[in-house]
Amino acid sequence: MNKIENSKVLVTGGAGFIGSNLVEVLLEQNNKVICLDNFMTGKRENIESFLDNSDFVLLEGDIRDLATCREACAGVDYVLHQAALGSVPRSIKDPMTSAEVNISGFVNMLFAAQEAKVKRFVYAASSSTYGDNEILPKVEDKIGKPLSPYGITKYVNELYAEIFARIYGIETVGLRYFNVFGRRQDPCGDYAAVIPKFVISMIKHESPTINGDGSYSRDFTYIENVVQANQLAALAAAPEALNTVYNIACGERITLNELYVELQNNLAKFDPEIANIHPNYGPERAGDIPHSLACIDKARKLLGYDPQYKLAEGLREATEWYYNNLK
């Protein structure tokens, strides 16, 4: 696998779940890493182990401030832009802040990166861009109308990246993540992702709530696959691989009911009592896409992306981490 080595890399949202995993791997590969985070959703404990590393710099600031973005981009080779205000429900409750962070902040970062003449701007796009398109599997050039303010913001990011590449000549790559999970993912709060939310409930011997009847399905993606994809996107050399977007997923799907059983079986190996817990069922969430399944052929062909972790393997590793760290 192509690895970023001996470079200066900016990871925005570097104290978040995905960002901190990127920071960790980049430091292991002899890079100098700048972490830009305002700790709105990022956590200091995610980066605590890096603070004594002389190759790590924490820049506490907000991407909504252009001066901060310029400071962060100075002398940088690659930008891995993960900073965003995630969650469909959060964007429905507060569309204004989602737009400020995800659109205005994104444009600030793009502008600062092109001014600093970075080699490549890789950014976190989202499967929510597919909106009401019901065709499975999802193919990059066939999208529908967004179903949430969050989905709109992530699609607008793609449009801005494309126009900046055209006008300013900056090289961009967007990665449409599909339901990423793994170590350091926050299980708490109203906007927690489904996998750690299920897990923390079962660890506490409580019944998780499944939204809807459990028939909705997702293409869940283990964090290691996302780390791989970011590095491949940063280093891709072929012109046709640049200034476009890619699905980053496993290319397989599982229903929420099936996911519950899989997580329960994994956790019951550590705590047999968990096998007796039954889920509750609640209303469907507004803005949720019923089914997601990614076609990853484009990423395979142009980036050399090959998911190292299939879903079952990723769930096993993640469940063990969650059990050991969330109790």
Q: Which DSSP category does 189 fall into?
A: S
Averaged confidence pLDDT in the chain: 94
**pLDDT at position 211:** 87
Give the chain's length. 327
Arithmetic mean of pLDDT, 8-13: 98
Average pLDDT over residues 63-73: 98
Catalytic residue, candidates 78, 123, 130, 150: 150
Residues 6+ apart with CB under 8 A from 83: 12, 13, 16, 19, 36, 37, 63, 101, 105, 109
- The rounded distance, in Å, linking the Cα atoms of 302 and 321 is 32
pLDDT bucket at 260, cuts 50 / 70 / 90: very high
Fold of 8-182+222-252+293-310: Rossmann fold (3.40.50)
Above pLDDT 90, what percent of the chain?
A: 84
Q: Per the structure block, which two tokens stand in for 2? A: 């192509």
- Please provide the DSSP assignment of 277-318 as one string: ---EEEPPPTT--SB--B--HHHHHHH----SS-HHHHHHHH
| Residue 89 confidence (pLDDT) | 85
Residue 227 CB: number of other CB atoms within 10 A?
A: 20
Note the pLDDT of residue 288.
Answer: 73
- Are β-strands 180-181 and 209-211 bridged in parallel, bridged antiparallel, or unpaired? unpaired
User: How do residues 34-67 score in pLDDT, each as one tens digit?
Assistant: 999 999 999 999 999 999 999 999 999 999 999 9
Domain limits, the chain: 8-182+222-252+293-310
pTM: 0.93
Is 150 labeled as catalytic in the residue annotation?
A: yes
Q: What is the pLDDT of residue 189?
A: 60
Reduced to 3 states, what is the DSSP secondary structure of residue 80? strand
- The residue ranking higher by pLDDT, 181 or 1, is 181
